[in-house]
Amino acid sequence: MKILRYIFVLLIVLLLYPLLLGKGSWLRVWNINQQVKQQEAQNALDKQRNDTLKAEVRDLKKGNDAVEERARSELGMIKANEEFYQVIDSSIFNQPTKPEPD
């Protein structure tokens, strides 16, 4: 009877080995699920970025407003017969300066 018991225990261990440590084990499935979740999060970020870029391209193809806005903000351009006023934040000038070491 003891031998039969050991044989059954050995069979159970042999059957559980692939489930716990084999190619399709629970640990491996859990690891792959974690990788899938990370990839889905990255895909969502990439989709949002792509949608933003598509909208920007559509605006640039559609009209001159987007081109004009980009020229004003990035290149500092102004229209002909237009006056440019630059507003400087006064708090920058009111900050105390550190004394220079001698």
For residue 41, what pLDDT is reported? Answer: 97
For residue 52, what pLDDT is reported? Answer: 95
Q: Which domain does 53 fall in, by range?
A: 28-78
SS3 58: helix
What mean pLDDT do residues 67-80 have? 81
| Tens of pLDDT, residues 34-61 | 999 999 999 999 999 999 999 988 887 8
Are 82 and 76 in contact by the 8 Å Cβ rule? The answer is: no
Residue 23 lies in a domain: no
Q: What single letter denotes the amino acid at residue 83?
A: E
What mean pLDDT do residues 62-76 have? 80
Exposed/middle/buried for residue 59 (C-beta within 10 Å: 0-12, 13-18, 19+): middle
User: pTM here?
Assistant: 0.50
| Tens of pLDDT, residues 5-15 | 999 999 988 88
CA distances from 55 to 1, 27, 72, 94, 100 (A): 76, 42, 19, 41, 50
Query: How many structural domains does the chain have?
Result: 1
Tell me the two tokens of residue 38: 């990370």
